[in-house]
Amino acid sequence: MNSTATPDASPAATTAPARRVAWASMVGTSLESFDFYLFAYFSAFFVGPLFFDPLGSVGATSVAFLTIAVAFVVRPIGAILFGYMGDRLGRRATLLWTVGVMGVATGLIGLLPTYAQAGWVGAVLLILLRIVQGLSLGGEWGGSILIATEHSGPVKRAFYAAIPQLGSPVGSILSAAVFIVMTVVLPAEQLADWGWRIPFLLALPLLAVSLYLRLTISETPVFQGVVAEGRRDRIPFVTMFARRPAAMAIAIGAALLGIGSYSLMNTYTVNYGVEQLGFSFQDLLVATTVGGLLQLVTIPLFGAWASRIGSAKVVLWGALGTLLITFPMYFLLQFATFPILVATMIIGGILPTMAWAALGGLMNDLFPDNFRYSALSFAYALAATISGFVPYLTFELGTATGFAWWHPGVVLAIMSAVTLVSAWLATRRRPEPELASAPETASAAV
């Protein structure tokens, strides 16, 4: 054996196959997304009456929705915390913490006393646990992308970066399925009395599955190289803004469409379709579910395409396509029959999914390995926090315009344009090297 082999070539050969690592990462991300989004389905029906009953029907519902928002607001803080851990302690160890914290917090929600049982104690604990969930999710996405990409070679890196992206639709579909099954199996009184606890308690056995899968994953050869060369950054959150400010802005803008379109299509458009266009909730739920199931096929396909032409170009084409179909899509939605509704939601979902599927690969190429976890996590979390306000802003625009048919299109077009420009700027930059020990591949871009 040649003792002078470069450090970025040898470790990869001794680690677990990249395909198995990527799929294990996806399963863990799916279960964490399931834990997080499960709360959204149950909050509108149970959180208000069970924990905030003295506030009245309207007040309790409003606070229940705020408990959803608070988890998004704290995500950047979680990104800073777990980003630091990921760049200092390792990708694998940090992902064990994120999934562990999420699973325990979700399970504890199922054990909380209601207002009738313990007064405001349960409500305060609920808010605290939602904050813990948000902190955990802030560190999950960046780590799941890196554990997949840093185990793979450069040729397939863009494809493996897309696999963890399946976690969000899988988690969303699972949480919706649990909600539907529970409402079918249990009478409304039993569901409100004790049945609502069961989905949250499911998080505990699912946590065991997640931990097992992640314990089977070895640390990435890239991080091992960073440690071996003594290049761990002391304060990666500060370094990433000092050394790559432009890359941070590009990453945040590139993430906006993939995340924001989900909030617009699956939250606001569903409500808009029922309240203003006269669709039934069941029709819209079926249409969005079909779109989510389709993502299970399109995300890997777009990841494979990104391996051929580059992740930034796939994000660019997704943003451009979304921009072009935005206003025709919402115009047709006014007159849609159910088949046209499904087709509209599918088309409106596929093109933003291009930007979503290739996002991890785009971000991976923007940052050096010694502060990459922090950079990916914070950029994604900040974009997610901004996207959390998309339904509210769209509603306010609708109110101001008398719910003109084009008002959701304005918001989607703005997000598409921001991501389009960001992706174009990303195509102009050379990918960062895997290891600083290969200085000839280093990028001079800042």
Enter the pTM of the model.
0.85
Cα separation of 227 and 435, whole Å? 11
- Ordered alpha helix ranges (H), 310-337: 311-333
- Tell me the pLDDT tens digit for each residue of 356-402: 999 999 999 999 989 999 999 999 999 999 988 888 888 889 889 99
398 CB burial (10 A radius; 0-12, 13-18, 19+): buried
CB atoms under 10 Å from CB of 199, counted, come to 23
Query: Which pLDDT tens digit goes with each residue over 30-65?
Result: 887 787 777 776 765 677 778 887 887 767 767 776
Going by C-alpha positions, the residue among 155, 231, 221, 219 that lies closest to residue 10 is 221
Copy the structure tokens of residue 339: 């088949």
**pLDDT tens digits, 253-285:** 999 999 888 878 777 777 777 778 887 767 777
Query: What is the number of alpha carbons within 13 Å of residue 117 lying toward its C-beta?
Result: 11
| DSSP string computed for 214-258 | HHTSPPPHHHHHHHHTT---SSHHHHHHHH-HHHHHHHHHHHHHH
Q: Vertex 373, ends 370 and 377: CA angle to 5°? A: 150
DSSP string, 395-415: HHHHHHTTS-TTHHHHHHHHH
Give the C-alpha distances (Å, rounded to integers) separating 418 from 61, 235, 323.
33, 29, 10
Q: Convert the pLDDT of each residue in 161-194 to its tens digit.
A: 998 888 888 887 888 788 778 878 888 788 778 8
Contact between 70 and 132 under an 8 Å Cβ cutoff? The reply is: no
